Chains A and B, each alone.
Chain A
Amino acid sequence: MCSSGWSDPRPGQRGRGPSLAFSLHRLAAELRVYARGNVRSREGFFFTLIFPIILVLLFGAIFAGGGISQTTVYVQNHDGGPVAAAFISALNSTSNDCSPGASSGLCLRGVAVDQNFSQYLSSKSASDGIVVPEGFSAAYGANQQVNITLFGNPASTTSAIVSGITSEVVNAFNLHGSKGVLGIETRTAVSSSYKYIDFLIPGLIGFSALTSPMFAMVNIVSTYRRDKVFKLLSLTPLTKTEWLLAKILWYIGTTVVSFILMSVVGVYVFGAHITLTLGIGLFLLIGPFFFVSLGMLVGTVSNSPESAAVVGNLVTFPMMFLSGTFFPVSSMPAYLQGVAHLLPLYYMIDGLNNVMIYGNYSPALFDGGLLVALSIVVFALAVRFFRWRED
């Protein structure tokens, strides 16, 4: 038998018996061929590199300017006197508007006196607040110097607005009394002030991690089955695990690229605030891992590319809109917030919000841990139920 053209670097391999050992060599070959296909395909190039930028530009432009327009100011009044009440009333009269549809202005919310004010602000992920000290009214009446404490973030535009309004009210009180006894003591709040774009970036990273792998995998699994490509692959030593891991690695790569592109556009075009932490890496890894596996599972239960697309959309679209992709989940009605908590994408976006914006690592750890557990289960199910060959 002619054997020119071949050389086997693993002599003696044949006849060893079944060997389903994982091979990095095969994984790399599969990753290379899949990556090359995506780079060469116009659709792949568009969805990997162009689409994320368009999304950020589009939504960033729609909500440019202030994003989250209403600024909540927390007020803790330790003084029960009439001057303190008048002071807060004066603040209220400036531009207080807590209605859901409010387009601008301050929304004053009271904080119980037994609360630690700094911690309270932190728990609300807020930075703007005013504390009226005990004896405020008495001191003002006695022409003694007394300061209110103004919490804010010097880098935040909303804090600057709150500071300006508060100063106006203080000045008015000083002029009214002509004594100049009221002062402002400023303190920097731990929490930052957020704009819409700040929430949009993690949301769109989640969106990207969801849609690219889900739509691609659902389509691939059904068309490969129709075109008998899986049969062809089943006749090679490539294993299902290697095949799926190659896809996961590719989509981790594209998600990271999307993250970088979106962040750069968000920061440099819209002034988004993004904190780069290692925690982001966890979600950039685990998100694609989960959604590639889920896409394969969805494709496995569908009989044709058409039905796969329907099932894929049924799974993808609710997650896309209800998981905090385009708006913070906290701004949704309570019953929809309950639904959001059932969607895996919520935990990815919530986790990204926690590590990129709030710096709250404990809840991020919970989000990440839950996603890791879900990913392992879905990956195992996808490999288990997906069959190369038929019986």
Chain B
Amino acid sequence: MVHLIQLPAIVVDGLLKRYGQLRAVDDVSFSVEKGEVFSLLGPNGAGKTTTIEILEGLRQQEGGTARVLDLDPWSKGYDLHKRIGVIPQGFKFLDYPTPREAIIYYGALFGVRVDPDEMLSRVILEDAGNIWFQNLSGGQKQKLGMALSLVNNPEVIFLDEPTTGLDPQARRAVWEVIRKLKNEGRTVMLTTHYLEEAEELADRVAIMNHGKIAAIGTTEEIETRYGSGQKMVVKAKDDLLEFLKDNTKLKAEKGANGTVIISLRDKDDALVALGSIAESGTDWGDLTVKRDSLEDVFLRLVGPEARSEGEGT
């Protein structure tokens, strides 16, 4: 009996790229399975774009290996580009073609016949098919970028910060297109500094910082592995904090807005915490139990400064 082993769509091992003294990509390794949506998450300057451009064959790595669809992106770029679709960061195009004309142009470059109406429909851009590119809105431009990246019917699609600078409505429209791509079984590699985007779209996430992978896995795996577990948050005065410290082994700390945060290692801790709150006789309210979100983990791994920098661009 013959077992066919399906190779991952993307394999990266020990990738290295320097700009002068700066190690923009420093010993990065990961793989992306076929049909998977994989997101590189990180602040500006983390090395996301350099990594994705190496995989697209636009830059040459200095060390390590990169394979996309079992091809070396740099030396076999011409073959690879027929099988991948790309939207570079800050997608811009020629000023005057309409989306319809741009799709036909791209089809001619790739030597494929494309139905522009069909493509426009796929990216939800039917209503702007005859507007010059320079007059399209930011969201419409990004959608055209997605349409162009699909012209050659690619197996792998690289989206480098596809929603940066878009308003929430346009962003969600682009997400809708990305979900469609996943449903069609295409492999999608996405870089973003929007946590919500990665959580919404990605099967797996890699958090990059200073050129290195700081965490990798599903969002749940990352939250579990790098988060600090479940926490009980209760609105109460400081005397609850004193009571817990004096009478229990629970780890508690003062939170924001007059709250006390109690770390829960297991279910027993939760019961002890509830009992202690009742026993303390203090005035309390607004009790919630939560665990670290991807954002909490992200902040812990890359620092709050990097987060705010990423949000701002």
Residue of B nearest to A39 (CB): B96
Residues in B with CB closer than 8 Å to A19 are 78
Partner of A229 from B83, B84, B94, B114 at Cβ < 8 Å: B94
Partner of B93 from A14, A28, A30, A232 at Cβ < 8 Å: A232
Contact in complex: B113, A9 (CB < 8 Å): yes
Q: Does A124 contact B (CB under 8 A)?
A: no
Residues in B with CB closer than 8 Å to A20 are 78
Q: Does A235 contact B (CB under 8 A)?
A: yes
Interface string of B137-152 (1 = CB under 8 A from A): 0000000000010011
Q: Return 15 A-B CB contacts under 8 Å, by A number.
A: A5-B115, A5-B119, A7-B112, A33-B97, A33-B105, A36-B96, A40-B132, A228-B89, A229-B92, A232-B91, A235-B84, A236-B81, A389-B58, A390-B59, A391-B59
Q: How far is the CA of A390 from the CA of B19 in the complex (A)?
A: 12
Interface string of A34-64 (1 = CB under 8 A from B): 0011001100000000000000000000000
Known: A37-B95, A235-B58. 6 other contacts (CB 8 A): A1-B153, A6-B153, A13-B111, A18-B79, A33-B94, A40-B96
**Nearest CB of chain B from residue A134's CB, rounded to whole Å:** 73
Q: Does A111 contact B (CB under 8 A)?
A: no
Interface of B is mostly: loop
Interface string of A184-196 (1 = CB under 8 A from B): 0000000000000
**Nearest CB of chain B from residue A290's CB, rounded to whole Å:** 25
Interface string of A220-247 (1 = CB under 8 A from B): 0000000111011011111000000000
Partner of B96 from A29, A30, A37 at Cβ < 8 Å: A37
Residues in B with CB closer than 8 Å to A238 are 109
Residues in A with CB closer than 8 Å to B92 are 227-229
Contact in complex: A29, B184 (CB < 8 Å): no
Residues in B with CB closer than 8 Å to A18 are 76, 78-79
Number of A-B contacts (CB under 8 A): 116
Which residues of A1-22 are within 8 A (CB) of B?
1-10, 13-20
Q: Does A176 contact B (CB under 8 A)?
A: no
Contact in complex: A236, B79 (CB < 8 Å): no
Residues in A with CB closer than 8 Å to B95 are 37, 41
Q: Does A26 contact B (CB under 8 A)?
A: yes
Q: How far is the CA of A234 from the CA of B74 in the complex (A)?
A: 12
Q: Among B109, B119, B151, which residue has the most Cβ atoms of chain A within 10 A? A: B109
Contact in complex: A29, B109 (CB < 8 Å): yes
Q: Does B43 contact A (CB under 8 A)?
A: no
Q: Does B226 contact A (CB under 8 A)?
A: no
Q: How far is the CA of A269 from the CA of B119 in the complex (A)?
A: 52
Q: How far is the CA of A391 from the CA of B58 in the complex (A)?
A: 7
With A1-B184, A5-B118 as known contacts, state yes or no: A235 contacts B81, CB within 8 Å: yes
State the A residues within 8 Å of B (CB). 1-10, 13-20, 23, 25-26, 28-30, 32-33, 36-37, 40-41, 227-229, 231-232, 234-238, 389-391
With A25-B111, A41-B96 as known contacts, state yes or no: A36 contacts B101, CB within 8 Å: yes
Q: How far is the CA of A10 from the CA of B108 in the complex (A)?
A: 12
Residues in B with CB closer than 8 Å to A229 are 92-94
Q: How far is the CA of A237 from the CA of B89 in the complex (A)?
A: 20
Q: How far is the CA of A37 from the CA of B91 in the complex (A)?
A: 18
Q: Does B82 contact A (CB under 8 A)?
A: yes
Contact in complex: A6, B79 (CB < 8 Å): no
Partner of B58 from A29, A32, A234 at Cβ < 8 Å: A234
Q: How far is the CA of A175 from the CA of B253 in the complex (A)?
A: 130
Contact in complex: A237, B93 (CB < 8 Å): no
Residues in A with CB closer than 8 Å to B152 are 6
Contact in complex: B78, A9 (CB < 8 Å): no
With A1-B184, A1-B185, A9-B112 as known contacts, state yes or no: A37 contacts B94, CB within 8 Å: yes
Contact in complex: B118, A4 (CB < 8 Å): yes
Residue of A nearest to B57 (CB): A389
Residues in B with CB closer than 8 Å to A10 are 111
**Nearest CB of chain B from residue A338's CB, rounded to whole Å:** 43
Q: How far is the CA of A311 from the CA of B152 in the complex (A)?
A: 38
Contact in complex: A14, B79 (CB < 8 Å): yes
Q: Among A17, A389, A390, which residue has the most Cβ atoms of chain B within 10 A? A: A389
Q: How far is the CA of A10 from the CA of B84 in the complex (A)?
A: 17
Contact in complex: B79, A26 (CB < 8 Å): no
**Nearest CB of chain A from residue B175's CB, rounded to whole Å:** 18
Partner of B88 from A2, A30, A40, A228 at Cβ < 8 Å: A228
Interface string of B70-82 (1 = CB under 8 A from A): 0000001111011
Contact in complex: A391, B110 (CB < 8 Å): no
Which residues of B99-126 are within 8 A (CB) of A?
101-102, 105-106, 108-115, 118-119, 122
Q: How far is the CA of A3 from the CA of B91 in the complex (A)?
A: 25
Contact in complex: A237, B110 (CB < 8 Å): yes
Residues in B with CB closer than 8 Å to A40 are 96, 132
